[in-house]
Amino acid sequence: MKIPDADSAENDSASSQPVITPLSCAIPNRRAGGPSGSGDERLKILPGTRLRSICGSVDASEQYYCNYGVNEKYEKQFQAAGLRVSARGMGGETRAVELPDHRFFIATLFQPQLSSRPEAPHRLWMAFLRAAIRFRKSRAR
């Protein structure tokens, strides 16, 4: 994005360009060394995205450790650099992004491992594994 001073507020840096900032829904850190707990959030998964094709619906409820996320001030720059917003919180905040031309690049604020179980793995995990298998098979040829 050609932002020389870009950084994350999580690093407690003196950057004047924090592209990752604390979220308004941040959960207080009650446990030394890590997030205190997860929350649930309703998401709108945007049409025409890989995440939508994986999840198969417009609405989803996901779990997360909500502390830091995309600074909305930079959303247009993220999009100009090729990163597409693929899910938003109910207030319009960015909750997932993807690179449409990459074989599998989806970054989420929610954490699929929190709701994934051996007998019912999260759809995003299954899609990632299928993409990895396809990639490995294509490299073996």
Tens of pLDDT, residue by residue over 92-103, are: 889 999 999 898
The Cα 92–Cα 121 span in angstroms is 27
Residues contacting 84, CB < 8 A, separation 6+: 49, 97, 98, 99, 100
Query: So where are the chain's domains?
Result: 6-140
pLDDT digits (tens, 9 = 90+) for 85-139: 999 988 888 999 999 989 899 999 888 888 889 999 999 999 999 999 999 898 8
What is the rounded (10 degree) CA torsion for 13, 16, 22, 24? Answer: 160
How much is the pTM? 0.81
CA–CA distances in Å: residue 60 to residues 17, 70, 135, 141: 31, 20, 28, 38
Domain 6-140 superfamily per CATH? Class I glutamine amidotransferase (GATase) domain (3.40.50.880)
